[in-house]
C-alpha cells in the first residue's frame, strides 16, 4: 500500500514537471509568434530599408522589379530597365543632379532609394496578376514612389552651386515638403558600380557625403538668429540697446573682431543684426543667461534628434551653466565648437517663417502601384513649436532688415516676391581669411512659402557668394 502511494506521488511529480516544461515551450512559442507578428507589422520596412541590409533587398529583387521614383512633377528620377536577356539595370535619367536626393541602389543604398526601398520592392498590383506571375515565374512590378522633389528647383540649385563644394536645401515651410536637396561634390549614380572604389576612397572631396544632412559646419553669423532669440526672450523691449562698434570687442581677455575688421559705428539691436556686427553680438552674448540660452538651443533641436527622413548628424552647441566666457561669446557669433547641418538650419528657418511651428520634413508624398492606383498618401504633420508667434514675428522682421539694410542686399529688387534671411561667414581654419559662406532665408516675407539654405565651403562672404545662389532658387520658384 505504501508503494502505491509513492508511485502516485512520483507520477504526480512527473506530470507537474512535464506540464511545467510544456508551459515553458508554449510560452516561448507564443513569444516567438508575437515577435514575428511585431517584426512583420512594424519593423520589416525599416529592416529592409536599412542600407546595411542590401542582401535582403537583393533577395526581394529576384521576385519583384524595383519600382519607379518620380518627382512631384511626374518626371522619372529612377527606374529599372531590362535588356532582351532580362538583365536589369537601375537608371537615373538626371544623372548627378539628384545624386544625394534620390541616391542609388547598389553598393548599399542611399537617399530616397534607401528611405523607400521597402515600398519599391513591394507589389500592390492586382491579386490576379500577381498569382499568374508567380505561377509563370514572371517578376511582379514594384510600387512607384512619388517624391516631393521639384525637378526645376533641383536643377537650378544644382547648376547655381556650380563646381563648388557645398549644399542647397529648399523646404516648403507650410507643409515640410523637401523641394530640393543638392550636395556637392557629387557623382553619377548610373556609374556607381564602376566608380565605387574611387568615390568611396576620396576622403578629400567626400562625394558620397550628403552635406545637407551630414555636413557639420560652424554656422557663423547665421547663429545670430539663435542669439537674437535668446536676447529677445530675456529683454522683450530691445529698443534700449545701443553699441558703438570700433571693429572689435574685448572683454575678460577675449577679443572678437568683426568680419575683415569692419568698423560699424553706432548700432541698435536691429542694425546689429542686419549688418551682422560680431562685436555687438559678442557684447550681447556676454549678457545672456547661459542656462536659459542652453534651453533655447535645445528647444531649437541642438544636441537633439531631428525629424529628418534622411540619415543625418546632430548639430552641437556647448551652452550650459559650466560654459566658459570665451565659449559663450564665440558661440554667440556661431564660432567656437558650435556646429550645424544645412538641413537643421533650414528647419529652424522654416519654423520662424511658419509662426514658430516646424512641420515634419518629408520627401515622399505618395505611393502608387504599377497601374497608377493609390496605395498610400502621406499627410503633412506638425512636428512641434520651436518658438512662439511673437518671437518668430520679431525674427522675421530682423531677417527682412538684413535684405533691406544689411548683408543680404543682393536680394533687393526681386520680381514677384520679397525675401528675408540671414547671411554668415564662418571661419573654419587657423587662417582667419578663410570662411564658409552661408545664407538662410524665406519668401515671400508677408506670407512665407519656402525656406532656402545655402552653404559654400570656403566661399568667403555669405552676402557675396551664398545670397546670389539663394536668389536664383527663389526666382525659379516664384517666376517659373
pLDDT of 149 reads: 98
For the segment 86-140, what is each residue's pLDDT rounded down to a tens digit? 899 999 999 999 999 999 998 889 999 999 999 999 999 998 999 899 889 899 9
**Cell 527606374 sits at which residue?**
79
What is the pairing mode between strands 357-359 and 382-385?
antiparallel
- C-alpha dihedral over 13, 17, 18, 19, to 10 degrees? 100
400: three-class secondary structure by DSSP: helix
DSSP one-letter string for 116-142: THHHHT---S-HHHHHHHHHHTPPEEP
Contact of 222 with 341, CB cutoff 8 Å = no
Q: Is the pLDDT of residue 54 over 80?
A: no
70-82: average pLDDT: 97
Non-local (6+) Cβ contacts of 110 within 8 A are 51, 100, 103, 104, 208, 210, 311
* Count of beta carbons in the 10 Å neighbourhood of residue 439: 33
Q: Where are the domains of the chain?
A: 2-49, 214-362+380-479
* Superfamily, domain 214-362+380-479: DD-peptidase/beta-lactamase superfamily (3.40.710.10)
Query: Residue 347 gets which letter from DSSP?
Result: H
Q: Is the pLDDT of residue 44 over 50?
A: no
Query: How far apart (Å, rounded) are the C-alpha atoms in residues 244 and 272?
Result: 10
CA angle 421, 335, 411 (to 5 degrees): 20
Query: Residue 361 gets which letter from DSSP?
Result: P
Average pLDDT, the chain: 92
Q: Is the pLDDT of residue 241 over 50?
A: yes
pLDDT of 144 reads: 98
Query: How far apart (Å, rounded) are the C-alpha atoms in residues 447 and 225?
Result: 20
Query: How far apart (Å, rounded) are the C-alpha atoms in residues 126 and 148?
Result: 26
pLDDT of 48 reads: 47
- C-alpha dihedral over 276, 278, 279, 281, to 10 degrees? 80
For the segment 418-442, what is each residue's pLDDT rounded down to a tens digit? 999 999 999 998 887 899 999 999 9
Query: How far apart (Å, rounded) are the C-alpha atoms in residues 347 and 154?
Result: 18
pLDDT of 47 reads: 46
* Among 385, 303, 363, 428, residue whose Cα is nearest residue 179: 363
R_g (Cα) of the chain, nearest Å: 28
375-398: average pLDDT: 97
Chain centroid to CA 50: how far? 18
- C-alpha dihedral over 105, 111, 115, 116, to 10 degrees? -60
Q: What are phi and psi of 76, to 5 degrees?
A: -75, 125
> Is residue 152 packed enough to be buried (19+ CB in 10 Å), middle (13-18) or exposed (0-12)?
middle
Query: Residue 380 gets which letter from DSSP?
Result: P
Query: Residue 360 gets which letter from DSSP?
Result: P
pLDDT band at 19, cuts 50/70/90? Answer: confident
What is the pTM for the complete model shown? 0.88
Q: What are phi and psi of 70, to 5 degrees?
A: -115, 155
29-58: average pLDDT: 57
Amino acid at each position: 500500500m505504501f508503494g502505491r502511494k509513492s508511485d502516485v506521488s512520483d507520477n504526480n511529480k512527473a506530470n507537474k514537471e512535464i506540464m511545467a516544461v510544456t508551459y515553458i515551450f508554449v510560452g516561448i512559442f507564443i513569444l516567438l509568434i508575437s515577435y514575428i507578428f511585431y517584426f512583420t507589422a512594424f519593423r520589416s520596412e525599416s529592416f529592409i530599408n536599412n542600407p546595411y541590409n542590401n542582401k535582403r533587398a537583393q533577395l526581394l529583387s529576384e521576385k519583384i522589379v524595383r519600382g519607379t521614383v518620380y518627382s512631384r512633377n511626374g518626371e522619372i528620377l529612377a527606374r529599372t530597365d531590362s535588356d532582351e536577356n532580362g538583365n536589369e539595370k537601375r537608371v537615373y535619367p538626371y544623372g548627378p543632379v539628384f545624386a544625394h536626393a534620390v541616391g542609388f541602389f547598389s553598393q548599399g543604398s542611399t537617399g530616397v532609394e534607401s528611405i523607400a526601398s521597402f515600398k519599391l520592392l513591394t507589389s500592390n498590383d492586382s491579386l490576379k496578376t500577381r498569382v499568374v506571375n508567380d505561377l509563370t515565374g514572371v517578376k511582379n512590378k514594384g510600387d512607384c514612389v512619388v517624391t516631393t522633389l521639384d525637378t526645376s528647383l533641383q536643377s537650378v540649385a544644382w547648376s547655381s552651386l556650380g563646381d563648388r563644394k557645398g549644399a542647397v536645401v529648399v523646404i516648403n515651410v507650410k507643409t515640410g515638403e523637401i523641394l530640393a536637396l543638392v550636395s556637392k561634390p557629387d557623382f553619377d549614380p548610373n556609374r556607381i558600380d564602376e566608380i565605387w572604389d574611387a568615390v568611396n576612397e576620396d576622403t578629400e572631396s567626400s562625394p558620397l557625403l550628403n552635406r545637407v544632412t551630414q555636413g557639420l559646419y560652424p554656422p557663423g553669423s547665421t547663429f545670430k538668429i539663435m542669439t537674437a532669440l535668446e536676447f529677445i526672450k530675456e529683454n522683450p523691449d530691445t529698443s534700449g540697446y545701443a553699441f558703438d562698434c570700433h571693429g572689435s570687442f574685448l572683454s575678460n581677455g577675449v577679443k572678437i573682431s568683426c568680419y575683415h575688421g569692419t568698423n560699424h559705428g553706432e548700432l541698435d539691436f536691429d542694425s546689429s543684426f542686419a549688418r551682422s556686427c560680431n562685436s555687438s553680438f559678442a557684447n550681447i552674448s556676454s549678457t545672456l543667461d547661459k542656462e536659459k540660452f542652453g534651453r533655447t538651443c535645445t528647444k531649437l533641436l541642438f544636441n537633439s534628434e531631428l525629424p529628418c527622413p534622411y540619415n543625418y548628424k546632430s548639430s552641437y552647441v556647448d551652452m550650459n551653466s559650466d560654459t566658459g566666457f570665451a565659449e559663450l561669446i564665440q558661440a554667440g557669433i556661431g564660432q567656437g565648437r558650435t556646429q550645424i547641418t544645412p538641413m537643421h538650419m533650414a528647419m529652424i528657418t522654416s519654423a520662424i517663417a511658419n509662426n514658430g511651428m516646424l512641420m515634419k520634413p518629408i520627401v515622399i508624398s505618395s505611393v502608387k502601384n504599377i497601374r497608377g492606383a493609390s496605395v498610400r498618401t502621406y499627410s503633412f504633420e506638425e512636428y512641434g513649436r520651436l518658438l512662439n508667434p511673437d518671437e518668430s514675428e520679431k525674427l522675421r522682421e530682423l531677417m527682412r532688415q538684413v535684405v533691406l539694410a544689411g548683408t543680404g542686399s543682393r536680394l533687393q529688387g526681386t520680381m514677384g516676391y520679397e525675401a528675408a534671411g540671414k547671411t554668415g561667414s564662418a571661419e573654419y581654419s587657423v587662417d582667419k581669411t578663410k570662411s564658409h559662406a552661408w545664407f538662410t532665408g524665406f519668401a515671400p516675407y508677408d506670407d512665407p512659402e519656402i525656406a532656402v539654405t545655402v552653404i559654400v565651403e570656403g566661399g568667403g562672404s555669405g552676402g557675396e557668394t551664398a545670397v546670389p545662389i539663394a536668389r536664383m532658387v527663389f526666382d525659379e520658384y516664384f517666376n517659373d
